[in-house]
Amino acid sequence: MPDRYVTLAREGVHETEVNRSRFRCALAPAADEAEARAFLARVRAAHPTAGHHCWAYVLGADGSVQRASDDGEPGGTAGVPMLQMLLRRETRYVVAVVSRWFGGTKLGAGGLIRAYGGAVGEALDAVGTVVRERFRLAEVTVGHDRAGRLANDLRAAGRDVRDVAYGTEVTFTVGLPEADVGTFGGWLADATAGTARLELGGEVYGSAAGPA
């Protein structure tokens, strides 16, 4: 699996106009094909007067699922350039739906390709993207007497503390980049005089704010 991928910061919409034809690009995060198709259905229902609802999505951190549709536009002039733009921008877990209202002037195959691909590119710029990095989760457990000092040390060292649970002891959940997994145990032993327990967990993707 890749160490990182790019996805949407949020759901959003951006409109462009080409020779009086209106192109409305709606973007949304999608965890799987069911979510992607549900978003497409929602856009179709909200804009029944559009002549076309062309779409594309890329799913999986490695981009293993890729689908696109021209929805009645000439073959290869809508869905494919939309998909190519999503891939060119290295986005994952993203669905794009471009609704078109015909403005009276035919754009030709080349014009349609540029318009649909461009609509997705401009929408990505307008909505914004974020990077998700691959982390190993680690649970660090210490006594209450050392918890405050350890919390300060973790943050001072730039460690990604994702959760703190208080019980008979204190457990910190820390996100570790793969490159730091091997050295973290030694750092932790030095910081706590060997009193902390370390348990490595699974891998997740996330930003500095938390797991995806």
**What is the pLDDT at residue 2?**
79
Q: What share of the chain is helix, strand, coil (3-state, %, to 5)?
A: 35, 40, 25
Same domain? 164 vs 66: no
CA distances (Å), origin 146, targets 113, 143, 192: 61, 6, 7
If we measure between CA atoms, which residue out of 151, 156, 153, 186 comes closest to residue 170? 151
**Residue 117, φ and ψ in degrees, nearest 5:** -65, -40
3-state secondary structure of 180: helix
Per cent of the chain over pLDDT 70 is 97
Of 71, 93, 127, which residue is a domain's last? 127
Same domain? 80 vs 161: no
Question: For residue 190, what is the domain's CATH number?
Answer: 3.30.70.240
Strand order in the sheet with 52-59: 12-18, 21-29, 94-101, 52-59, 65-69
Same domain? 19 vs 115: yes
Domain housing 110:
4-127
Whether 105 contacts 20, CB under 8 Å: yes
Instruction: Kindly give the parts of the chain with pLDDT less than 50.
Output: 208-212
Question: For residue 19, what is the domain's CATH number?
Answer: 3.30.230.30
**pLDDT (tens digit per residue) in 139-173:** 999 999 999 999 999 999 989 899 999 999 999 99
Of 127, 149, 182, which residue is a domain's last? 127
CB-based burial, 73-89: b 16+ in 10 Å, e otherwise:
beeebbbbbbbbbbeee
Same domain? 143 vs 203: yes
Same domain? 94 vs 43: yes
User: What pTM, to 2 d.p., does this model score?
Assistant: 0.76
Same domain? 49 vs 91: yes
Same domain? 81 vs 152: no
Of 127, 151, 172, which residue is a domain's last? 127
**Across-strand partners of 141?**
171, 197
Domain tally, the chain: 2
Same domain? 105 vs 137: no
**What is the pLDDT at residue 210?**
42
**What is the pLDDT at residue 212?**
43
Same domain? 65 vs 101: yes
**What is the pLDDT at residue 207?**
67
